[in-house]
Each structure stands twice: as structure tokens, then as C-alpha cells.
Amino acid sequence: MTIDINPDRSRWQDLCARPADTLERIGEHVRDIIDTVRRDGDAAVESFTARFDGVTPPYLVIPPTVLDEALRDLPPDVRHAITVASHTIRSFHAAQARPPVVVRTVPGVVCRLETRPLSAVGIYIPGGSAPLVSTVLMLAIPARLAGVGTIVLATPPSADGLPDRTVLAAARLCGVDTVVCAGGAQAIAAMAYGTERIPSVRLIAGPGNAWVTAAKQVVSADGIAIDMPAGPSEVLVLADDGARAEFIAADLLAQAEHGIDSQVMLVTTSARLYQDVNDAIQRQLAALPRRAIAERALENSRCVVFDTMEAALDFTNAYAPEHLIIMADGDEGLSARIATAGSIFLGEFTPESLGDYASGTNHTLPTGGWAAVASGVTLDTFRRTVTVQRADADGLARLSQTVVTLARAEGLEAHAQAVLVRSTGTLAYTPPTVLHANEVPNGVLGAAIGRYPDPSRQAVLAALSDYAGVPTDTLAVGNGSDELIDLVVRTSCRDAECSIVLPEPTFIMYRHAAQLNGTRVIPVPPRSGRWWNVDDVLAAVEPSTALILLCSPNNPVGYGIPAADVIRLLEKTTATIVVDEAYVEFSDAPSLVPLAATTDRLIVLRTLSKAWGLASLRFGWMCATPQRIATIRGAQAPFTNSEWTLQAVEWALRTQHDTVQQTVADVRTRRETLLHRLQSLPCVEAVEPSQANFLLVRFRSFEAVCSALEDAAVLVRDRSAEPGCDRCLRISIGTSDELQRLITILEPLP
């Protein structure tokens, strides 16, 4: 490993250089192979395989029986590892699914952005001495999640004429449709254009040697999409003087053993670290089976030392590494300043091999500096977006003058006429003349607020429908969850003998709504050591019980109620089950909204007050079957939400989903940090694990804690009077500074 200390910026381009362009070196040979496969089909693929791989495989397309045999012979430990890795990969990529974007750009014009899966994709899996079984998972799982119709996998034969058996088993587990026993440029051509037995595909993904990379570039000129430009694998480690040399050496060697052309780079602010890493590399090399390959790769490796982290960051962005490992103080802040990396690994316990196999992120990443402009494989790799728009006559009229003016400015009269022919002679939008209203035309806050809002709340219901993924007739909205709770109780408990079963502790408004309606409450106290038990609830249910009111995640404890328990209550009782999901965004469990839309006697309540941070708007919503929703709407006053509320909610639902997801992620991180810090304090007896944005904490010296917090003007909720909550305070997850102040006050208390 060579070393450069504070290299001048004029040398950075040379230091960041990769191998020469693949297509220029072997392009003509690759084109000949591709043209032959296009002309001669299967025969050409088989001929090239015999020529380049030195074997004649018994199958060009692997039969299902051979795949099944490979799966049966898979060692149990390997199958278990594949299963675990598949779960993490599937979890991370499934979360990338996104609902359609629906925007009413002007009244009467609605534009949508929707995704469509590709019809067929090809996956290339290299063979040789290191068959990349993990790449099967990294490509086939996201393709299936994206909804791809046909997955074709190509991989070269081994010496016995069949591909690596673990690759075949993984392909079977991942639901690959066609497995082709061929590699190199001939396999890329077969998938790109199709042969007698090999389906053609729309996109080809996966790593390969120079011939595979060149072939992907050639077929892309014919409209076959490729995942990204790819070359030899590479890693850059960014480290300061606190990094551990043994860890850095292991990460550099992990990348170097891929191949002799692999790129490994150490960028550091510590000249001493260079020698320590070099020594560690020599110690670790001796134990590697692929030592010779790693040593060849290390001949071209570099260590670049800078006096400042600022310069080190600039160089890292200039290099644009496929993999970037940051082992330096303040790694999160440093990561935020990286604009050009395929995948980033933070901290000393996050080796690059974790992402290669099992963390869940995708290891198919741009190399050769392409990380500056290209991204790694995601769910979107296997989908395309399409825009959809619809205008009604009023919407067209509102925009017609704009279209006609711009079309004529460009000299495109036919474009203008396409609008004019529909406008029936008028280009101006004429709003209705409102003479039937009780209110004045223009109030002190303007015309929009001077009129009553739409009593049917159609725009907000449409936005909620897109957000929640359920029809509008399964949704109702109201003035906060409090109004909806009251409506549910009023419409469900019409008999004087009705009762409501209420597991405790829980949100106080349930009991208030029951009392205002004159409905008897049957409390279910918590068990010692367990907050909620479905058998206890079932035992409390009477023939007259109309409602079972559940809060999940529970307020004030924070536990989530398993969906299986809710389903059991539906099966074992005739009561309506109400699940209040005010805090569900902070939970690991999915919402029950989709189930409520199709299940009798299940109602789910939601709010925008918690995760969305819109408490002062007083907006709540609920999901149930259309019959139940019709009953709720029939009992509801028409104008319980103001026009400003409705407009703000629609805007938030249409535009702020990503912001809310980031907010929730930040709160969850601070919640877990606070939980661990509280558990270490002498004054804390217990902290309940929480799926909400608060923690319920039981204190040993309760009065002393309350007094100290009151003196310091730190406000928390006293829940000590509630069942099971003796000596408990509910602490909401505030900012990092607020939580640090809380810890500072509590630390000295006994």
C-alpha cells in the first residue's frame, strides 16, 4: 500500500483513477458475440459456453427438478443463513414501496405519479471461485417485491457442467422463473434479445467481469435497461486517529479478495494509522485462502493522509467510492457531508461485509466513480414511474389561457387548438354565483374562509384514501379523535343496558365518552407483570357489551396490542372492537386500517396530532366498513372541521409524508437512547418498553423526583393514580437537549 500525504488537488484525478474503459478495450469482440447470439439463438449460446467455459452443460435452461434437488441438498446452516438474510433484505426493500402521489394542481385538475413494475428482468450471477449467492437475494427479492412478472437468472457452469448448487438453491427459494446455464457476453445477449428457450427481458442487473460489463453497455444502446455502470469492486475507509487498525485492515482485505483489480483505499487524518494498518494487513493476510488475489489487489491500493478532515471529505467525494466505511468521531455528521457514495457504513462495528450479506441494504452498487451520479439497486430499479392526469371542464378552463399563450409563443398552433376546440368559445373560468348561502360573500379573513367548508370533506377524504390505501367510503374525519370516540359510543351504545369493556390503564377520553352517553364501563385491571391479557378481556365481556375500546400503542404504557389478539376478540365476541392507533407511526407493528376497511365490527381510530405534529388543527380520522362509516357520518354535524384545517390536512397528506417518516425515525432513536439511559439511573425502578413517543417510568423515590422536576420546570405526566401505574411518570420524547436536561436532573437522585 503506497502513501500520499496532503497531495495537491491537481493530483487528485490521478489518485482517483480506475481501470481503462471496458467497452473501448474489448468492445468489438463483445459486439461479435452479441450479433451471433441474436442471429443463431440457443445454438450460439451453447457454442460460446463450450468455447469459453470449456464444458458442455447438459442443460441450457435448468429444469425445475434440478433446482429442487439443489434446494434439498442445501446444508441446513446455509439455508438458515439465506433465510435470515432474505428476511432483512425483504424488510428493508419492502419499506421502499410508496403510495401514488396525487396532487390537485388547480381545482378540476388532478395529477398522479404512479409506479409500474417491469414485465421481465434478467439477473446475472458470476461463477468462478466465488459464486455470488448473496447477489441472487439482492436482486431477485426486490424484483419480486416490485411486482416483476418474469425473472430470468443467468449464471455460468462449473466444471461438472452445472452452475454452483447454492446459487441454484437460492434461485429456487427466491422464486426465479428461468435459470440459464450460461455466462459472459453470450448470457447478456440471450437475456436482452431472447432465444428459442430464453425469454427476453426489459432490464439486466448484476455484476460481472469486463466482458459482462461491456455486453451490458452494448445492449443498453438497444433500449435494454441496465442497473448501473459497474466495474471492479472497491472500498474507501475514512478514518481518524481513534480508529482501530485491525478493523480497517480486515475491511480492506475483505474487498481485496474479490479480485486482483479490486480497489481499496484508506483516507485518514493520521499518518501513524498508515503503518499500523499495514502491519495488521500482513498479519491477517497469512490466514486468507485467497491471499494471492488479495496481495495482487493491494499492490494498487493507496493510503492518502490529510491534515484536516475537511480535505479528507473533499477527496472522498472526489473518489466517489462504491463502499464507504467511516471510522471517525462524529461519523453521522461526516456521513451527512458525503454526496457521492454507493453505500455508507458507520462506526467500527459496521463492516462492509455486513451490507454484502445481511444488514438488508442492497450490495449491487455503482463502481468506478459512477457513485457520483448513479444509485445502487433499490425497489425502484425494477419499476418505472408513469404520470396520470385528469381534468374536468372547469379545470381545463382554468388553465386554457396559459396553455394557449405558451403554445403560440412556441409557434405550435395545433397545441393551442387542442384546448380551444374543447373550450366552446370561452377561455375564462367563471366561478358559480353563490346566492343561496347564509353567510356573507367575503368575511374579514377573505372569501375562502368566509364560506362554510365542504360538509362532505371530499378533498381530504381523497388524500386520506391515497395515504391509507383504502376507499373513501371506509373513512370518516372529525374534530380530533375525541369527536370520533364520542360518535362511535353514541352510534354503538343506543340501548340503556349497553356496556363498554375498557382494559386499563388507558386514554381517559374513552371513559368520559361513556359517561356522557350514560353507558356503563366494565374496567379490566392490569395483571401483575403484564399490562394486557386477552383472556381477562374475554372474561369481562357480557352479552350486552357493545364495544371493547383498545389503545394500541397504549397510552400511557406504550405497549402494542398484537393483531392476533384483536382478531381473537372479533371471533370470540359479538362486540365491536375499537383500536385507537394514535401512536401507531412510532410502532414496529403495521396499522390495522386495511383490516378495518373490510372487517365487520372493527373500527380503527387515527390522528394527525402525534407523528404529524398537527395537534392544534384538531383533526382525527377513522376507518371501518362502508356501512359503519355511513352510520357515523349520519350522526355527525356537517362543519366540525374548519376550511383552514381541511386545506392544511390535505396539503400535509399530499406533500409531507417523507418529512413525517424522518421525524418518526428520529423520535424512535431518541426513545431507545432515553430508555437505556433511564435504566442506568439509581432513582429509576423500571422503564416500560414503548412503541409510542413516550416512556412510562416507575421511580423509587417518586416524591423526590416529582419535586426535582417541578423545581426545574420540567413538565411530565403524573400517571401514578392509574391502575398498575403506582409511582409512574409518563415522559414524552422531546429534543435531544430537553432529554439531556431531564437526565441531568435525575442523575443525582437516589
How does pLDDT run across 645-699, given as a tens digit for each residue?
998 999 999 889 889 999 999 999 999 999 999 999 999 999 999 999 999 999 9
Q: Report yes or no: 750 and 683 within 8 Å, Cβ to Cβ.
A: yes
CA distances from 279 to 266, 335, 355, 381, 665 (A): 14, 28, 26, 41, 40
Does residue 11 belong to any structural domain of this protein?
no
**Average pLDDT of span 592-602:** 93
Please state, in angstroms and rounded to a whole number, the distance separating the CA atoms of residues 90 and 75.
22
CA distances from 600 to 99, 234, 490, 495 (A): 26, 56, 18, 20
Q: State residue 494's pLDDT score.
A: 80
Please state, in angstroms and rounded to a whole number, the distance separating the CA atoms of residues 413 and 411.
6
Closest CA to 18 of 286, 319, 365, 339: 319
CA distances from 637 to 118, 270, 427, 487 (A): 47, 70, 39, 10
Same-domain pairing of 643 and 715 = no
pLDDT over threshold 70, residue 427: no
3-state secondary structure of 588: coil
User: How do 499-503 and 717-718 pair as beta strands?
Assistant: unpaired
Same-domain pairing of 271 and 180 = no
Does residue 360 belong to any structural domain of this protein?
no
If pLDDT is split at 50, 70 and 90, which confidence band does 446 have?
low
Handedness of CA 71, 72, 74, 80 (dihedral sign): positive
C-alpha cell at 539: 372474561
> Mean pLDDT of all residues in the chain?
91
Same-domain pairing of 49 and 169 = yes
Q: State residue 431's pLDDT score.
A: 63
Most confident of 22-26, 206-210, 547-551: 547-551
Does residue 701 belong to any structural domain of this protein?
yes
DSSP 707-748: HHHHHTT---EE-TTSTT-TTEEEEE---HHHHHHHHHHHTT
502: which strand partners? 523
Range of the domain at 59: 22-93+108-226
Does residue 27 belong to any structural domain of this protein?
yes
Q: State residue 452's pLDDT score.
A: 80
Q: Report yes or no: 427 and 397 within 8 Å, Cβ to Cβ.
A: yes
- Domain harbouring 244, CATH code: 3.40.50.1980
Same-domain pairing of 710 and 649 = no
Does residue 38 belong to any structural domain of this protein?
yes
- Hey, how many other C-beta atoms are within 10 angstroms of the C-beta on 197? 14
How does pLDDT run across 353-387, given as a tens digit for each residue?
999 999 999 999 998 898 998 899 999 999 999 99
How does pLDDT run across 250-285, given as a tens digit for each residue?
999 999 998 888 889 999 999 999 999 999 999 999
**Average pLDDT of span 697-706:** 95
Same-domain pairing of 731 and 703 = yes
Same-domain pairing of 198 and 214 = yes
- Mean pLDDT is lowest, of 13-22, 165-174, 216-225, 392-401, for 13-22
Same-domain pairing of 222 and 271 = no
**Average pLDDT of span 39-60:** 95
Tell me the catalytic residues.
Answer: 322-323
Same-domain pairing of 268 and 135 = no
pLDDT over threshold 60, residue 705: yes
Cα maximum dimension of the chain: 90
Q: State residue 13's pLDDT score.
A: 92
Q: Report yes or no: 336 and 357 within 8 Å, Cβ to Cβ.
A: no
C-alpha cell at 581: 392507533
Same-domain pairing of 465 and 573 = yes
How does pLDDT run across 491-533, given as a tens digit for each residue?
999 887 899 999 999 988 899 999 988 999 999 998 865 676 8
Q: State residue 208's pLDDT score.
A: 87
Closest CA to 61 of 190, 193, 166, 202: 190
pLDDT over threshold 80, residue 70: yes
Same-domain pairing of 405 and 344 = no
Q: State residue 22's pLDDT score.
A: 56
